[in-house]
Structure 1
Amino acid sequence: MLWTIIVTLVGGVIIGSLGKFFAPGHRDNIPFWLVVVCGIVGMLVGSVLYYALFGVANNVKGNPDYGWDNTTKGIDWWRHVWQIVVAALAVMAASFVTGRDRRA
C-alpha cells in the first residue's frame, strides 16, 4: 500500500510536470500541488483511455497479470504519451477553473 502511494505521487509529479510543460502558452499558471493532482488524473484517465482503445498486447492476452495499468511486457511508451496528453488537458482545465489562465 505504501509503495502504491509513493509511486502514484512520484508519477503524478513527473506526468504532471510534463503535462504542464506541454500545455500551450500561458495556460499553465497553477500551483505545484495542483500540477501533481493533474498528473495523477492524467495517469489514471490516460491509462484507462489507452486500455479502452487498444487493450493489451497480443503476447500477453489472457494473462491475469496484464490489464489497464500494464498492457505490455516492456515499458508502455504509448500509454505514457496518452497520460501526458491527458495531464496537459487537465492542467489547462485547472488553470481555467482557478482563473489563472489570464495573462498578468
Structure 2
Amino acid sequence: MSGLLINLIIQAISGAVGGNVAGGAVKNIDLGALGNTIAGAIGGGAGGQLLGLLLPLLANTGATPDIGSIIGQIAGGGVAGAVLTAIVGAIKNKTA
C-alpha cells in the first residue's frame, strides 16, 4: 500500500473516533452515531491531508513507520474530525 492511502486510513479512523467523542461530549452538536462517524471520518481525512500539506514531516508517514509521525496523524485526524462534526452539528441545530 502506498503511504498516502495508509495515512488516509489512519486519519479517517481517528477522525471518526474524534467525531463520536465530540458528539458524545456536547449534546447540542450530536448527529447520532452514524452522523458523527461519517462527519468525523470526512473531517479526519480532509483535515489530516491538509495538515500533511502544511507540515511536510507528516506527509508520508505511512510509508515510514515512525511512531511520532503516526501519533501526529492520529491527533490531527481526531481533532479535524471533531471540528467538522461540531461545525455540521451547529449548522444542523441552527437550521432546525
Q: TM-score, normalised by structure 2?
A: 0.61
Q: Please tell me whether Structure 1 or Structure 2 has the larger radius of gyration of its CA atoms.
A: 1
How far has the Cα of 1:26 moved from its partner?
3.3
**Structure 1 residues 26, 96: CA separation in 2 closer, same or farther (over 3 Å shift)?**
same
* Percent of aligned pairs sharing the same letter: 12
Two-structure CA RMSD over aligned residues (Å): 3.2
Q: Give the secondary-structure state (helix, strand or coil) at the position aligned to 2:89.
A: helix
Q: TM-score, normalised by structure 1?
A: 0.57
5+ residue gaps, structure 1: 58-65
User: What CA distance in whole angstroms lies between the structure 1 residues aligned with 2:17 and 2:65?
Assistant: 26
Tell me what 2:56 maps to: 55
How far has the Cα of 1:96 moved from its partner?
1.5
Tell me what 2:62 maps to: 70
The answer to whether the Cα contact below 8 Å between 2:30 and 2:36 also exists between their aligned partners in 1 is no
1:90 alignment partner AA: L
Residue 93 of structure 2 is aligned to residue 99 of structure 1: yes
Q: Give the secondary-structure state (helix, strand or coil) at the position aligned to 1:79.
A: helix
Residues 17-32 of structure 1: matches in 2 within 5 Å?
17-22=17-22, 25-32=26-33
The answer to whether the Cα contact below 8 Å between 2:22 and 2:86 also exists between their aligned partners in 1 is no
Q: Which moved more, 1:16-25 or 1:73-82?
A: 16-25
Question: Which of structures 1 and 2 has the larger relative contact order (alpha carbons within 8 angstroms, sep 6+)?
Answer: 2
> How many residues are matched?
84
The answer to whether the Cα contact below 8 Å between 1:47 and 1:79 also exists between their aligned partners in 2 is yes
The answer to whether the Cα contact below 8 Å between 1:19 and 1:84 also exists between their aligned partners in 2 is yes
Tell me what 1:79 maps to: 73
The answer to whether the Cα contact below 8 Å between 2:16 and 2:37 also exists between their aligned partners in 1 is yes
**Structure 1 residues 77, 20: CA separation in 2 closer, same or farther (over 3 Å shift)?**
same
